[in-house]
Structure 1
Amino acid sequence: MTTLDRRLHAYRPDLAEAELKGRVDALRFVEGVSARVAVPVVGLRPEPDLARGIDTELLLGEDVTVFDRADGWCWVKAASDGYVGYLPAETLFEGRPAPTHIVTVQRSFVYPEPELRKPHQAILSMGSRIHVTGEAEARGNHYVVLEDGTALFSRHVQPIGALDGADYAEIAARFLETPYLWGGRSGLGIDCSGLVQLSMLMTGRKAPRDTDMQAAGLGEPIDRSEIRRGDLVFWKGHVAVFEDPETILHANGYSMTVARENFEAAVRRIGSLYEQPTGYRRPVI
């Protein structure tokens, strides 16, 4: 049988997703059940074990397909990028109304009612998807109201799809100073490929999750002399977004933040410790 990338194909000796029937060996094949993330952010792990590091993260309102539930864990596949892994069962819900809006600022507070002086109940990252049922005003501040009565500042959200076609490099810049987090994919903590992916998803563009996937198939390869805003530079295990031909934006383990850096300075710094850039690519914009 074919050996497939387990990050993107759900298969184990006992169980596999139905579309892999005939391609992998498994005792059972299932279609899976649709569900949606019910918490602000949750790590997706390669094994059902909180001691294992995260591969990536999913945000409130994102869709998944659940293939298995056991011992308090769900084995899922993310709708946004096809990533497969495990997350705690209590972080999902089924049958709730579809999201209508998306958070468009780096982070936003959820209040128990439309009143900023109330203690917040949660912090949502950019990219979180919510179901808005109404609007409210209190002391000149405008809020959107969710189905449970909680509220967010209306200027922090937009209807889903409102940013489609926008400049994803501008979105990436909104994450400046966000802490670096291996496997992170939110305004609370993010890694290099997560920054690229989430910024592109915000503007209606699909992108693979991991750096090797992006280097292999995101857009088209280009030469350094062709660089323009929105192009990508890759090192082994790292990616950065060109803000302009001389400046990059990247989540990195040197500053431990999303930082703006002169490209040639970054090449010298990274090259002295690791390697030179391995390639440049232009996403389909």
Structure 2
Amino acid sequence: MGICPLSVVPVRHTPSQRSEMSSQLLFGETVEVLEEKGKQWCKIRASCDNFIGWVESNQIKAITPSEFERFNAHFAYSLELMQPVMGADHFIPITMGARLPEFDGIRFRLGEVYYTFSGQAVVPGDFQPSADFILKLAKRYLNTPFLWGGRSPFGMDSPGLVQMVFQMAGFKVPREASAQIEIGDTIDFIENAQPGDLAFFENNQNRISHVGILMPDNKIIHSFGGVRIDKIDHYGIYDEARQMYSKRLRLIKRILPTIPRKNVPNEVSEVESSGVQAELF
């Protein structure tokens, strides 16, 4: 068993620095070690999404099975784009979506070392997730550059954006768009969609190649060049700057509870009436 003790760690397709980065581990995420290749590489399964890949052995900190269980059962997500955590004699910069094991509101523990965290954090399950919360999380990533395999504010791909946003809201979402399309309920027409629904897009080979989160007013937030907001209709995503469609719509799926049609907002409210969402933003 292991835990990521660094800000962002690349997960590679094969055990080589030259291999494609297929995903990333963020600080505090736990893994199961499946195989070791010498002393330099280990094959891991990430506990957050069961994604399998190779990481350098010195970028993973070994933990006991009991710590693995505790850290996965009790943690908070950092909501700060970038925030240093303070140990006894050093700092570690962590990103939005990093996990804070056994966080008590002020401190958390990583092995035998305690760290202080002074930013905003959220504990999954402490609130009822809503489209408002989902979209506020997503908009924090605006202007994050596109990075294949990325899951952090320094670079992320389209399924990485969806996964991180819904993960912080308490949903377990697969890593890749081709797997994300298998969860949730199908929405037949875009006219029946609601904010927070996921829109999936296909390439010229009719394969799912892109995903984004629907917003009010026929808009979508997604990672394409960078995390951005574009217009969307029944055909796909329309790039106003280039005056052309950039993505072709394939399917819409719903993970959040359905809102009665008469209550579907034209705009997502800026403040929840009560609860954690209002306090966090």
**What TM-score, normalized to structure 2?**
0.73
Matching of residue 280 in structure 1 with residue 252 in structure 2:
yes
Q: For the structure 1 residues 206 and 112, does the alpha-carbon distance in structure 2 shift closer, same or farther, using more than 3 Å as the test?
A: closer
Contact 1:227/1:245, CA 8 A, preserved across alignment: no
The one-letter code matched in structure 2 to 1:67 is L
Q: CA deviation at 1:262?
A: 2.3
State the match for 2:35 in structure 1: 68
| 1:167-178 → structure 2 map (5 Å cutoff) | 167-178=133-144
Deviation of 1:133 (Å): 7.3
Q: How many residues align?
A: 235
Q: For the residues of structure 1 that align with 2:167 and 2:104, how far apart are their CA atoms?
A: 26
Structure 1 match to 2:60:
92
What is the one-letter code of the residue matched to 1:277? Answer: L
Shift of 1:89: 0.6
Contact residue 107 and residue 188 of structure 1 kept, 8 A: no
Deviation at 1:35, TM superposition (A): 1.8
How far residue 46 of structure 1 moved from its aligned partner, in angstroms, is: 1.0
Separation in 2 of the partners of 1:84 and 1:52?
Answer: 14
Displacement of 1:56 in angstroms is: 0.9
Q: Is the aligned partner of 1:152 residue 2:117?
A: yes
Distance 1:248 1:174, change over 3 A: same
Letter in 1 for 2:121: V
State the Cα distance separating 1:213 from its structure 2 match: 1.3
Determine which of 43, 46, 56 is the counterpart of 2:13. Answer: 46
Number of the residue aligned with 1:79: 47
1:180-195 alignment runs, 5 A limit: 180-195=146-161
Q: Aligned AA for 1:157?
A: A
Shift of 1:51: 1.0
- Higher mean displacement: 68-77 or 87-96: 87-96
- Provide the rounded CA distance (Å) in 1 between the counterparts of 2:247 and 2:168: 31
Q: Give distance in 2, aligned partners of 1:188 and 1:91.
A: 18
Greater RCO (Cα-Cα under 8 Å, separation 6 or more):
2
Higher Cα Rg: structure 1 or 2? Answer: 1
1:247 corresponds to: 219
- Over the matched positions of the two proteins, sequence identity in percent amounts to 25
1:201 aligns with 2:164: no
**Whole-angstrom distance in 1 between the partners of 2:140 and 2:161:** 10
Is the 8 Å Cα contact of residues 220 and 284 (structure 1) preserved in structure 2? Answer: no
Decide whether the 8 Å contact of 1:164 with 1:202 is kept in 2.
no
Q: Do structure 1's residue 233 and structure 2's residue 196 form an aligned pair?
A: no
Give the TM-score normalised by structure 1. Answer: 0.73
